[in-house]
Structures are given as C-alpha cells and as structure tokens.
C-alpha cells in the first residue's frame, strides 16, 4: 500500500527535476547565443541580424519565466490553490507567445521602415557563420525540448522547444538572405526577407497563444484522455460495469479526472472503496502522467444486466448480450450506458 502511495509522488518529483534541468539548460544556452547574435550585429550592422538578436532577448526572458513557472508548478496545493499551481504553465506559454508575437511585429515594423530608409551593411560572411552556428544549436536544443515536453507532459518545455525551432528557421532564413545579399549586393533584400521572417514568427506566436488559452479554458486534451481510456479498457474488471460523466482537466504535468463508475449494488462500502482505489492505482502505474481521480460510485440497475460482465451475479435479471467498449462518446455523457 505504501508503494502504491509513493509511486505517483516519486514520478512527480522526477518529472519536475527533469523539467528544471531542461529549462536551466535552455536559459544558459539562450544567454550565450544572445551575446553571439548581438556581436554579429555589431560586426555587420545588418538589421536582418538585429531582428534575430532582438528575438534572442525574448528567448532569455521566456526561459527565465518558464524556469520560475516550473518551480511554482512544483509547489504543493494549499488553501488558495486546492488543485495545485500547475495552471501557471499555461500563463508561461501565454507570455512566451505574446513575447514572440511582439518580436515578430517589431521585425515587421522595423523592416518596413528600412525599405524606405536603407543603410549600408558589411562583413556579411562573418555574420553568416555566427548566425549559422547559433541556428544549429537552437535547432538541436529545440527538437530535444519539444520531444521532452511531450514525454514529460509539460507545455512550458514544449512551447520553449517550439520557440527555439522557430529561431532555427529564422536563422536558416537569415543565412540564406545574408548570402543572397552578399552575392547580389542588393541591400533592399535585407528588409524584404526580414518581413517574411517576421510574418512566420507572428504565426508561431499565435499558435502558442491559442494553446495557452485552450489550457486556461480547460479544453480537453484528447491524446491524454485516449491514453487513460486505453489503460482502463485493457485493465477493465468485470466489477466495473460502466464509466460515465468523465471529465479531465490538466494542471501542469498532472491530470485531474472526475468520473462516475457503476458497480454492483450489493457491494458494501469497503468493497466499493477497494474498486475505486484500484482504478486510481492501475492508471497511475501505467499512464505517462500523474493522475488524480475523484470517482463517484453508482449502484447498478436491472437495465445494466445486458452489458454487465459479472459472473454468478445473484441479482441478474437478464443474460448479457452486449459488449460496450469505453469511448470518448459514451464515457463523457452524464448517464449510464443504457440510458438515452
């Protein structure tokens, strides 16, 4: 019993520790690359490079807030936050999306201005080398963070990873644009290409904002719910007649589930408690996310018999004739499966 209790806590602690290490790595890397990019701007005087350098400030600020949000999300629940502090991760993603959007907008404004008021640029090949190296570093780190964010179920890390991948794409555009400007000697391309990159950055910022708002509005995470359903269907016991009124909410790297489970009406309170606890244990043992259940037990009715799996049931009124697999459609309804 102690093992069953400690398992979710150990999983949560290890997950938070990994998240902190990843965000700290992103923060340190971001600071180093920001210095490199501003060095490239001072060397070349290219506004195209300046836009990338300015966006690197967003990286550092976003990683700093992400690190704080991971810390805050790890705090235990209290009187003011009965479900914990995990929702702060959605605020972190919102801020990151807003910062990226502002950077994209700033790039568009400055690049448009420079079309009408151009200025000379120089030492472009040196800038190409510096930006190319920073792009490779950001791309590798971004893909790593995006993958780890999905594994750890952390939208903060995943969002930071997407941001770094955006930086990699920006760097590719920068390198291509700088080389094109270098060989064609058309300085106007510096601003035109910056506008295209700015539009892409705005789009990425919008996607992050959309994801954060969906989380704050408790939009269902279908991938997680399907994972939980798969576990419950695979581990389903004959005593679990049906599951309904199923609702899931994401709090940081934890999932909170409210649901009703129908059990044989002749079970005593101890048996009911045992079955409810078993649902919790089975899911937390197999799921990729720590899950908290609030389960309401319903007694079975005679109309449940045609899909009930209980062997040697003393109150069965008719033979079993139907198998019902738990799906998103039939578990989210606030009714037993036979009800219409």
Please list the pLDDT of the chain residue by residue as tens digits (340 residues).
444 445 455 555 576 778 778 888 888 998 999 999 999 988 887 877 877 887 787 778 777 777 777 677 667 777 777 666 667 777 777 887 888 888 888 888 888 888 888 877 888 899 899 999 999 999 999 999 988 888 877 777 887 788 788 788 878 878 888 888 888 888 888 888 778 878 888 888 888 888 787 777 666 667 778 888 899 999 999 999 999 999 888 776 678 889 999 999 999 999 999 999 999 999 988 887 778 899 999 999 998 999 999 988 999 989 998 888 899 888 988 888 876 4
Last residue of a domain, one of 190, 216, 242: 216
* Helical (H) or strand (E) element with 11: helix 2-44
Enter the DSSP assignment of 291: E
Last residue of a domain, one of 216, 237, 268: 216
Alpha-carbon Rg for the chain in angstroms? 27
Note whether 155 and 241 are same-domain residues.
Answer: no
Q: Is residue 340 part of a domain?
A: no
Q: Is residue 336 part of a domain?
A: no
Q: What is the pLDDT of residue 4?
A: 46
Q: What is the pLDDT of residue 5?
A: 43
C-alpha distance from residue 68 to each of 40, 52, 76 (Å): 30, 25, 15
Q: What is the pLDDT of residue 220?
A: 64
Last residue of a domain, one of 216, 235, 270: 216
List the CATH number of the domain containing 99.
Answer: 1.20.1510.10
Identify whether the C-beta of residue 259 lies closer than 8 Å to the C-beta of residue 331: yes
Q: What is the pLDDT of residue 106?
A: 82
Note whether 206 and 229 are same-domain residues.
Answer: no
Note whether 189 and 240 are same-domain residues.
Answer: no
Any idea which residue has 């093992």 for tokens?
A: 3
Note whether 104 and 199 are same-domain residues.
Answer: yes
Q: What is the pLDDT of residue 166?
A: 79
Give the whole-angstrom CA distance, residue 288 versus residue 151: 7
Q: Is residue 338 part of a domain?
A: no
Single pTM value for the model: 0.63
* Helical (H) or strand (E) element with 245: strand 242-251
List the CATH number of the domain containing 317.
Answer: 3.30.70.1350
* Helical (H) or strand (E) element with 248: strand 242-251
Give the whole-angstrom CA distance, residue 104 versus residue 336: 51
Note whether 238 and 209 are same-domain residues.
Answer: no
Q: What is the pLDDT of residue 9?
A: 52
Q: What is the pLDDT of residue 190?
A: 80
Give me the numbers of helices (H) and strands (E) for the chain, helices first please.
9, 3
Residue range of the domain that includes 303: 222-331
To the nearest 10 degrees (0 to 180), the angle between helices 269-286 and 222-234 is 120
Q: Give the number of domains in the chain.
A: 2
Question: How is 14-80 classified by DSSP, letter by letter?
Answer: HHHHHHHHHHHHHHHHHHHHHHHHHHHHHHH--HHHHHHHHHHHHHHHHHHHHHHHHHHHTSPP-SS
Q: What is the pLDDT of residue 265?
A: 94
Note whether 181 and 38 are same-domain residues.
Answer: yes
**Secondary structure of residue 290 in the 3-state scheme:** strand
Note whether 209 and 228 are same-domain residues.
Answer: no
Cross-strand partners of 299:
263
Give the whole-angstrom CA distance, residue 327 versus residue 242: 11
């Amino acid at each position: 019993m102690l093992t069953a209790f400690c398992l979710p806590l150990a999983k949560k602690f290890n997950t938070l520790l990994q998240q902190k290490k990843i965000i700290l790595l992103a923060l340190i890397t971001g600071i180093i690359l920001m210095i490199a990019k501003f060095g490239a701007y001072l060397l070349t005087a290219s506004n195209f490079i300046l836009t990338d350098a300015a966006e690197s400030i967003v990286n550092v600020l976003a990683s700093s807030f992400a690190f704080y949000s991971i810390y805050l999300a790890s705090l235990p629940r209290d009187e003011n936050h009965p479900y914990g502090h995990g929702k702060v991760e959605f605020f972190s993603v919102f801020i990151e999306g807003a910062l990226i959007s502002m950077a994209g907008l700033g790039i568009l404004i400055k690049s448009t201005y420079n079309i009408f008021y151009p200025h000379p640029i120089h030492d472009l090949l040196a800038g190409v080398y510096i930006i190319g190296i920073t792009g490779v570093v950001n791309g590798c780190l971004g893909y790593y963070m995006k993958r780890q964010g999905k594994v750890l179920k952390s939208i903060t890390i995943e969002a930071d990873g997407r941001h770094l991948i955006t930086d990699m794409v920006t760097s590719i555009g920068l390198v291509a644009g700088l080389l094109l400007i270098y060989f064609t000697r058309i300085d106007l391309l510096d601003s035109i290409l910056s506008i295209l990159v700015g539009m892409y950055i705005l789009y990425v910022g919008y996607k992050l904002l959309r994801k954060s708002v969906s989380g704050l509005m408790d939009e269902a995470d279908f991938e997680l719910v399907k994972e939980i359903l798969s576990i419950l269907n695979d581990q389903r016991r004959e005593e679990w007649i049906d599951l309904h009124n199923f609702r899931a909410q994401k709090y940081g790297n934890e999932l909170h589930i409210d649901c009703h489970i129908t059990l044989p009406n002749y079970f005593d309170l101890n048996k009911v408690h045992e079955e409810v606890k078993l649902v919790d244990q089975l899911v937390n043992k197999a799921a990729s996310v720590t899950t908290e259940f609030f389960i309401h037990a319903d007694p079975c009715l005679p109309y449940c018999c045609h899909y009930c799996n209980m062997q040697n049931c003393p109150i069965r009124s008719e033979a079993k004739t139907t198998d019902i697999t738990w799906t998103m459609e039939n578990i989210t309804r606030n009714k037993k499966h036979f009800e219409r």
